[in-house]
Each structure stands twice: as structure tokens, then as C-alpha cells.
Amino acid sequence: MMEKEEIYSKVMRAGRRTYFFDVRETKAGDYYLTITESKKFTNDDGSFHYKKHKIYLYKEDFADFRDNLHEMIQYIIDAKGEEVISERHQSDYKREDQNGEAVVAEETATETSSFTDIDFDDI
């Protein structure tokens, strides 16, 4: 399906992710919104590629989408506050289970075990 030219666009950069908000026109002349998440991945050889995920949002769904998005955002803020907690950026952060025991995330353990020491003089 060929997409028509954007009527109105905004870009939001967020680290390795970029979000594109694009207003497009249907064949009938009405408008709809596409939200695209694009994430950059670097290959072992230094080249890179992007993975994209797209949501199509039509006017008849705007109110429900907005209400649900607002509810989910408010739930997160009420439960965890607005402070950003990131295991990746805080080396001393330890997640605890319901009993207060430290939990090691599988992805963290995997990342640590697959780490390769690099000598930057060779680059």
C-alpha cells in the first residue's frame, strides 16, 4: 500500500528511538494519524539498520485512544512517580522481588556474559 504524502508531521527523538507523527489523507479525503517508532541497530561490522513499527489511528478511535493513553500514563506516574529509573544507566540499581530479595534480570546477565573487551587502539 503506497502511503500518501504527509499533511503535517512532527518528529520526536528519544535516544536510539525516533517517533514520527504524521497526518495523512485517506482516498476519501479524510485525515488519519500514523505513529511510527524507528529504532537504530548497529551490526557487528559497524553498519546499521532500522526497525520500524507503525500504528494507524483513525478519527473514530481518537477519543478512546486518547482516554486510554492518558489513563495508562497517569497510572504509571501515580504508581512510580515521574522520576526515571533505568537499570541500564544506574550500575548500582538492584531490583527486588516481593520478598525484598535482589533479582538479576536475564537480559542484564546475558549482556554481562557476552561482553567483549575491546582495545580501541586497533580501531
Find how far residue 5's CA is from the centre of its chain: 24
The set of residues, in sequence order, having a beta carbon less than 8 Å from that of 2 and lying 6+ positions away, is none
| Percent residues over pLDDT 70 in the chain | 66
Instruction: Give the model's confidence band at 115: pLDDT under 50 very low, under 70 low, under 90 confident, else very high.
Output: very low
Give 29 or 120, the one with higher predicted confidence.
29
Q: What is the model's pTM?
A: 0.61
Mean pLDDT of 72-94: 79
Give 101 or 114, the one with higher predicted confidence.
101
CA distances from residue 106 to 60, 109, 111 in whole angstroms, order as listed: 41, 5, 9
Q: In this predicted model, what pLDDT tens digit does every residue of 21-46 receive, in sequence order?
A: 999 999 999 999 999 999 988 888 98
Q: Which CATH topology does 1-83 take?
A: Nuclear Transport Factor 2; Chain: A, (3.10.450)
Q: Examine the pLDDT at 97 and tell me if it is beyond 70.
A: no
Strand 95-96 and strand 48-58: pairing? Answer: unpaired
